[in-house]
């Protein structure tokens, strides 16, 4: 009987060894891939968290601004529906300022003794009236300056003016430590005002005042909305105010008081 050729089968041990090496290599590759994927995922998660945190901060700021705008509109509506309540809230409050502030007493909204204001005054004059303030011992003081201040040339840069306002607020706080001091933003000139170059920087000055009050924890009253909403209540010179403007200005001041 004729023998056929013998077939050489691969060694079983060799096959198993090769298969084991391949499996181990695959496992290592998978783990490396998963590790890189996890690192990438962790970085993506971290980026996502940072993004959400930034959104949260933005949303909180936007929400706060929206709430404040609603409160301002509510206060201005109150000036129309119950003006007596607005002025009643100024009991034991002093107003200091220039010719615009004079209107609070001139039109008999507030008692003359509680309005320390004079035409041409600037924020620098505040410290000259500390003894008068001490005699009044007010619960609150509202500082209403600015239109003369930015035009007189004493403070050519907004930061200089903000520093002066900070010094005057500190002077009042030193004389009357229990009194709340509120700094009004500078009311802009009306549409009929004779334009001077310094008015072009009014927003810069107000921005510096707001930043200063935030830095030191002082109280700031933003009059932007009330001035824009009631431009028709300026006098013909575009600088001084008609009687009807004062109730809205006062109501806007109270918005900041009520937020404290």
pTM of this prediction?
Answer: 0.76
pLDDT at 63 over 90: no
Segment 10-36 mean pLDDT? 59
Per residue in 151-179, pLDDT tens? 999 999 999 999 999 999 999 999 999 99
Residue 207 CA to residue 159 CA, distance in Å, equals 9
Q: 256 or 39, which is more confident? A: 256
pLDDT, residue 4, reads 44
Residue 41 pLDDT: 52
- In this predicted structure, what is the pLDDT of residue 219? 98
- Residues 6 or more apart in contact with residue 258 via CB below 8 angstroms: 71, 75
Tell me: the pLDDT tens digits for 123-140?
999 999 999 999 999 999
Residue 2: pLDDT over 90: no
Residue 1 binned pLDDT confidence (cut-offs 50, 70, 90): very low
Residue 238 has pLDDT above 60, yes or no: yes
Taking residues 37-43, what's their average pLDDT?
A: 57
Beta strands across the sheet bearing 219-221: 115-117, 93-97, 140-144, 180-184, 219-221
Instruction: Summarize pLDDT for 205-214 with one digit per residue, the tens.
Output: 999 999 999 9
pLDDT at 8 over 50: no
CATH class of this structure's domain 83-259: alpha beta
The DSSP bridge pattern shows strands 140-144 and 93-97 to be parallel
Q: How many helices (H) and strands (E) does the chain have?
A: 8, 5
- pLDDT, one tens digit per residue, over 49-60 is 677 777 667 666
Radius of gyration of the chain measured on its C-alpha atoms:
35
Predicted local confidence at residue 77, as pLDDT: 79
Asked if 209 contacts 173 with a C-beta cutoff of 8 angstroms, the reply is: no
Q: Average per-residue pLDDT in the chain?
A: 86
Return the pLDDT at 5: 43
Residue 18: which pLDDT band, with cuts at 50, 70 and 90?
A: low
Checking if the pLDDT of 23 tops 80, the result is no
Residues 184, 111: Cα–Cα separation, whole Å: 20
d(CA 183, CA 236): 26
Specify the higher pLDDT residue, 33 or 231. Answer: 231
SS3 of residue 75 by DSSP? helix
What Å distances lie between residue 69 and 66, 74, 94, 223, 259, CA to CA? Answer: 5, 9, 25, 11, 12
Token pair for 198: 């310094």
């Amino acid at each position: 009987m004729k023998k056929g050729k013998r077939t050489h089968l691969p060694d079983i041990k060799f096959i198993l060894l090769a298969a084991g090496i391949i499996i181990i290599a695959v496992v290592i590759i998978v783990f490396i891939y998963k590790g890189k994927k996890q690192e990438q995922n962790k970085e993506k998660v971290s980026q996502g968290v940072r993004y959400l945190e930034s959104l949260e901060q933005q949303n909180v700021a936007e929400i706060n601004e929206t709430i404040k705008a609603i409160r301002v509109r509510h206060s201005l509506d109150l000036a129309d529906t119950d003006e007596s309540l607005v002025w009643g809230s100024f009991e034991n409050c002093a107003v200091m300022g220039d010719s615009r502030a004079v209107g609070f007493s001139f039109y008999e909204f507030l008692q003359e003794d509680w309005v320390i204001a004079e035409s041409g005054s600037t924020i620098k004059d505040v410290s000259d009236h500390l003894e008068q303030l001490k005699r009044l011992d007010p619960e609150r003081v509202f500082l209403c300056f600015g239109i003369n201040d930015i035009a007189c040339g004493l403070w050519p840069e907004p930061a200089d003016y903000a520093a002066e306002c900070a010094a005057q607020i500190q002077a009042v706080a030193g004389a009357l430590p229990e009194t709340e001091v509120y700094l009004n933003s500078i009311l802009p000139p009306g549409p009929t005002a004779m334009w001077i170059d310094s008015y072009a920087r009014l927003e810069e000055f107000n921005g510096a005042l707001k930043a200063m009050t935030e830095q030191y924890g002082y109280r700031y009253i933003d009059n932007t909305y009330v001035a824009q909403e009631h431009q028709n209540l300026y006098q013909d010179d575009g600088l001084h105010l008609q009687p009807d403007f004062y109730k809205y200005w006062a109501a806007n001041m109270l918005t900041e008081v009520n937020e404290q």
